[in-house]
Structure 1
Amino acid sequence: MASTPTPERAPAVAQPKARVSVPPCQPQTPERKVWPQGTLLWGTSRKDSQRETSSILASVELGRVRLGAATVSGVRLEQGRLVAASREPKALVSAVMQGRASDGAPVEVALCGAEAAAEDPSVMWYQIQVWDAEREAWENPCVATHRVPSPRALAVPGVWDEKGARHEEAGRFTFACENGVIAKCIQWGYKPWGEKAGYSLEALHQACTRMARADYCGDGRSHTREDMPIDMYDGLAVLTRTKEAAGGWEPALASFEAAWTADGAWCLSRTRDGSAVERILEECPARFEVGEKDLGEGDRCKVLRKGEHAEAVLLRNRSYEKGAPLRAGQRP
């Protein structure tokens, strides 16, 4: 008589770790993890430590906002301020929003504070925290530095991908931490929601993010070092070239570096980190070619963008050449 087969046992499935009931917006102890200048895009900690433009918080959704047990509807972003019907920006403090990391993974984001910038009350700074499921704690996702040990964030229209390109995505925005270049460029005057002389500053802001990270190829790779002073100037004169020593900036020690468009450099004279220009030609051979162009005021290019005219230039910058003493720049 045949024996009855023993039923196979189903493989054990790992159960998700139960969510601990920890309220957001807990006091945070400042951490000085790194000392970045010019290399961070969002200004947040990396999701993947090996990828330069990886972030634990790359975008946030406007349509799924909770304040306690209630759902808040109609939240929108107006010139860098999060508002809802009949609510001032500070009235949304303690709200929890839904975000995404750069790899698309979901993350909860708590709005823990809101304050107008002292130097520009039209700019609203937010203190934010994200839920870390592994540590079972709310944490500030912004990278701290010796200058800014408890960094805040700006609410910025649009989202950025891992190549540093900005996109419009309906119902989503970016929390840009103050130690990253998205926020720095706004602090320098390039508000993407602003305008000057009838021209939108959105493209200038994006060109600034490329310039600040020395992302010559427009592919997300930076070519700068921490604490590199820079001076920038644009065709709309939002910022003008600094010609006299001020704020630690020494114009006599600086020289023209590059001219910029929204998707990377239009031309280069040299690199900011001191590497050979030939390296950039190797990294993006389809983009550049050897050639000279005088942009005026002593700004002479040695490598040019293929197939584009100089009218595409939005922004130019100067920096110290390798070997020059590095000092705290006027716009660090």
Structure 2
Amino acid sequence: MMIGMYALAAGAGCEPGGSEPARAGDPPSLVRPAGFEIIVTNGSSINGPLVNGGARAGTEVYGLGVTGSTADGSAVLGIRLQGSDLTSVRVSDGAVLSGASLVGAVFATQAPGGAPIDLRIDTVSASPSRYHAGSAVSRYTLSYRQGVSGLWRPVCGEVMGVPAAVIPLASRWSYDEGTAGGGAKLAEPDWITFACAGHALHKCAELGYEPWTTAGGAPLGDHHQACVRAYRADYCGDGSPHTTSGQLINLFDDLGVQTDTETWLLESEWDADGARCLSRPRMTGGVVPDCAAGLPVCHGTIGWGDTLVVTEAP
């Protein structure tokens, strides 16, 4: 399937709130929150936005032991995932709440750096998966409140004045770049990452690589991670992106989630750790990045099995 996107992130040290004037090159639909910038596309950002000097406020939460209260004042304990559906236990009777029952609920949690924040569930919608019978995708809008201002801000910023949606995913990801383990999915299943629309984690779930389900009997967690690497052109598996705004790619797999729709030239084969081979880097003028110099050239026969997704570039 051919894809091409833009992503949002905020400048380091900027405090979001209000909006900035449009800039040259902005998509006409974009409302730019104060301090936010367009960054390179095709998922060069794993997740976002970045606020307050780089902390992803509210985009990750340790679900065990988190306390909160629902809109009607009922105390709730913990946040867990069933697929992409958030659940929490009502303390008074042990009932498991989910969906609309959690709209308006506020949870006391922490930003990744340890600062306390409040996280609020503002809206929820669920729809059947476009790709997998019996699977559903839940999308939320969330707000966070941090510090003494008392102001609620959307976790993922806004587009056209509307808070961007999230898809909750189990575990956490490394946001490091250029280091061993950069961009990796961490083995921390009790954490929940809120994948922001327009970024690689969210986009790959939208493409059908729903990590909570299966295709052809195969769990899709590794396919989702391979898609994230491919979407960002993270050839070296160190978290460094090698793509830019407006770049098109054709991405497909052998499970039928995404099919080969173009006759473009092969770029790379991918697994969860990065590129397995590299034929023509999409945005480096044909020059292989230094970190990828040791990768073999891709050949005509795709190594399905070890290879999870394939990309082509025009």
Sort the TM-score into its range (normalised by shorter chain): 0.7 to 0.9
CA distance in 2, matches of 1:44, 1:155: 15
- Structure 1 residue aligned with 2:77: 73
**Shift in CA distance, 233/176, structure 1 to aligned 2, threshold 3 Å:** same
1:261 matched to 2:271? The reply is yes
CA offsets, 1:17-40, max 9 Å, x none?
Answer: xxxxxxxxxx99784243453222
**Shift in CA distance, 272/149, structure 1 to aligned 2, threshold 3 Å:** farther
Give the conservation status (yes or no) of the 8 Å contact 2:204–2:227. Answer: yes
Give the alignment partner of residue 242 of structure 2, picking from 201, 205, 223: 223
AA in 1 matched with 2:235? Y
- Structure 1 residue aligned with 2:46: 41
Structure 1 unmatched ranges of 5 or more: 1-26, 244-250, 300-308, 321-332
TM-score under structure 1 length normalisation: 0.70
Give the conservation status (yes or no) of the 8 Å contact 1:34–1:144. Answer: no
AA in 2 matched with 1:315? V
Give the alignment partner of residue 95 of structure 1, picking from 105, 115, 130: 105
Give the alignment partner of residue 119 of structure 2, picking from 87, 102, 109: 109
Q: CA deviation at 1:152?
A: 0.7
Give the conservation status (yes or no) of the 8 Å contact 2:166–2:197. Answer: yes
- SS of the aligned residue for 1:97 comes to strand
Percent identical pairs in the alignment equals 28
> Which deviates more from structure 2 when the two are superposed, residues 75-84 or residues 131-140?
131-140
- Structure 2 residue aligned with 1:137: 151
- Structure 1 residue aligned with 2:24: none
Q: CA deviation at 1:235?
A: 2.0
TM-score under structure 2 length normalisation: 0.74
- SS of the aligned residue for 1:41 comes to coil
**Shift in CA distance, 196/137, structure 1 to aligned 2, threshold 3 Å:** same
CA offsets, 1:213-257, max 9 Å, x none?
Answer: 1111111111111232221111222111004xxxxxxx5xx4221
Give the alignment partner of residue 291 of structure 2, picking from 283, 289, 296: 283
- SS of the aligned residue for 2:313 comes to strand
**Shift in CA distance, 170/238, structure 1 to aligned 2, threshold 3 Å:** closer
CA distance in 2, matches of 1:271, 1:98: 44
Q: CA deviation at 1:172?
A: 1.5
CA offsets, 1:40-84, max 9 Å, x none?
Answer: 2113225546xxxx6334421223131155431354210100123
**Shift in CA distance, 194/119, structure 1 to aligned 2, threshold 3 Å:** closer
Give the conservation status (yes or no) of the 8 Å contact 1:61–1:98. Answer: no
Structure 2 unmatched ranges of 5 or more: 1-16, 20-29, 89-94, 176-181
- Structure 1 residue aligned with 2:92: none
1:157 matched to 2:170? The reply is yes
- SS of the aligned residue for 1:231 comes to strand
